Structure 1
Amino acid sequence: MTTRPKPGTAEWDEYLAEGNAKQARKRVAADVLFRDESGRVLLVKPTYKEAWDLPGGMAETNEPPQAAAHRELREELGLTVRLRGLLCVDWVAPHGPWDDQLAFIFDGGTLTPDVSASLHPQDHELSACEFFAPEKALSLLPPRTRRRAAQALRALDEQQPRYLENGQSGH
């Protein structure tokens, strides 16, 4: 029987590092749901995808989801805002070449008319950004994102964050 190393030693750190190396690594997406004063939803058109998407993107290594959302908003839309909380977190099963992922949607609130009118892509990753009525916005999103965004809109209406698995309420 192997004895566990003593905490605070170099052997303990090696023991923990071995355990850490065996644990799952998750990809993390951090998107933001913005509305204008008419209740329309902001979507962005990435240059590297066919469909529209919510503003936001993938977290970098060891980057907190909320920080990733802030960074992506600054880089892609030149937008600095205070996020109003979490609307949903969605565990997304492995698909295609991708491992599983945790996808967060934060509440960006209602943008003022001046901010809404001044939004435009700030880098090469976006070709457009536009507000759409909620049902139209959902119809423009790919199925996986559509399910998650619909749940985020419900969470917003009900003032209750949601835990999801593949865009469905978790069990």
Structure 2
Amino acid sequence: MTTRPQPGTAAWEAHLAEGNAKQARKRVSADVLFRDEGGRVLLVKPTYKEAWDLPGGMAEANESPQDAARRELSEELGLTAQIGRLLCVDWVAPHGPWDDQLAFIFDGGTLTPEATANLHPQDHELSACEFFSPYEALRQLPPRTRRRATQALEALTGQGAQYLENGQASG
């Protein structure tokens, strides 16, 4: 019979660490929905994808989704922006070589004309950034991202944050 370590001891911490190491890890992405004063939506063109995308990216180990979004915006667009409320979180099923993922979209609000005038890719991961009408922005996105972005745009109109599974409202 194995004796369980006592809480607060080094053995207890080692026991918890062992359990933590065995638990599933989720990939996490954090994107931000920005608009200009005309209501157009900001998209970015990654160099490593065929389609346009929302600005943001993947969280690093032990990084919160909001911190990941802030870091990615700074690195890729040189943008320091307030990250607003959560618009949606989407559980994305495993696909291709990828495990499942939690994809967050936050409200970035409306960028000022000064901010939009100076907006351009800051590193090799982006080849372009551009504002599109909401309809045209959705057309530029791949289906999985389009479903998620559609729900995020709908959340802007007053409904609360949405929980999605593969871009579809759940429950």
Q: Within 5 Å, give how 1:63-82 maps onto structure 2.
A: 63-82=63-82
Find the residue that maps to 1:37 and give its secondary structure.
coil
Write out per-residue CA displacement over residues 110-159 of structure 1, whole angstroms, 9 at most, x where no aligned residue.
01112112211011110000000001100100111000000000111124
| 1:90-169 equivalences in 2 (<5 Å) | 90-169=90-169
Q: Shift in Å at residue 95 of structure 1?
A: 0.6
Paired with 1:170 and 1:22, the residues of 2 have a C-alpha distance of 28
Which SS does the other structure have where 1:25 is aligned? Answer: coil
SS of the residue 2:102 aligns to: strand
TM-score, normalised to structure 2's length?
0.97
Q: CA–CA distance in 2 between the matches of 1:29 and 1:134?
A: 21
- Give secondary structure in 1 for the equivalent of 2:131: strand
Q: 1:11 offset after TM fit, Å?
A: 1.4
What does residue 40 of structure 2 align with? 40
Matched residues, percent identical?
79
Matched residues, number: 171
| CA offsets 1:25-49 (integer angstroms, 9 cap, x no match) | 0000000000011111000000010
Tell me the TM-score normalised to structure 1 length.
Answer: 0.97
- Which deviates more from structure 2 when the two are superposed, residues 152-161 or residues 46-55? 152-161
Runs of 5+ unmatched residues, structure 1: none
Structure 1 residue ranges (4+ consecutive) displaced by more than 4 angstroms after TM superposition: none
Q: Match for residue 21 of structure 2?
A: 21
Partner of 1:54: 54
Q: C-alpha distance in 2, partners of 1:12/1:159?
A: 44
Q: Which residue identity does 1:143 align to in structure 2? A: P
Deviation of the 1:92 alpha carbon:
0.6
C-alpha RMSD over aligned residues: 0.9
